[in-house]
Amino acid sequence: MQRVSIWKYGLENKKIAFIGDLLRGRTVKSLTLLLNKVKGTKLYFVAPKTFQIKSDILEQLNIDYELTDDFEKVLPEMDVVYMTRLQDEYKHEGISENEVIDTNKYSINSNNINKIKNNAIILHPLPRRNEIAVEIDKNKRAKYWGQCGNGMWVRVALIMEMFGVNI
């Protein structure tokens, strides 16, 4: 498993797209607030209207951002594509039971992978459904498996710190 290093890619002056369920996604909310502290970052929140990020997060931002539902339009501009799954299995205020959302409209597959910059990276907090096709896993831009491994080591470090373990 290859690790993802932010030092290799850097964070300053990057365009970062969050795609999927931005309304309920914990990782999106925490990353948004963290990236708010990075110079020159522009965030793109890409989701159907009913899954768009809420104003409580947006009101805390002092960096550029854009809300859109046009996934295909933003893909070519992004340095980081942070995919999340549309959590349409949950009932939520404002989301009708009869509302049908084309989840394929918010997915990376062999039809649109080449719209993404060659040096961009694709991240995902996992688990996934169909928002990233399995054939993308071997693409050099897919960094979510390394992201998963990094998360494990961060949790190990936090647990060690909580229990006062020194190595």
Q: What CATH number matches the domain at 6-162, 3.40.50.1370, 1.10.357.10, 3.30.930.10, 3.30.365.10?
A: 3.40.50.1370
* Residue from 66, 42, 40 nearest 53 by CA: 66
Q: What's the chain's average pLDDT?
A: 88
Judge contact between 136 and 121, C-beta under 8 A.
no
Q: What pTM value is reported for the model?
A: 0.84
pLDDT tens string 35-68: 999 989 999 999 999 899 999 999 999 999 999 9
Lowest mean pLDDT among 4-8, 13-17, 102-106, 157-161: 4-8
Res. 7: pLDDT tops 60: no
In the three-class reduction of DSSP (H, G, I as helix; E, B as strand; rest coil), residue 48 is classed as coil
Q: What would the two tokens of residue 74 be? A: 């933003």
CB 113, CB 139: distance < 8 Å: yes
Contact 143, 123 (CB under 8 A): yes
Task: Determine the average pLDDT of the residues in 73-95.
Answer: 82
Domain limits of the chain? 6-162
Residue from 91, 81, 86, 83 nearest 115 by CA: 81
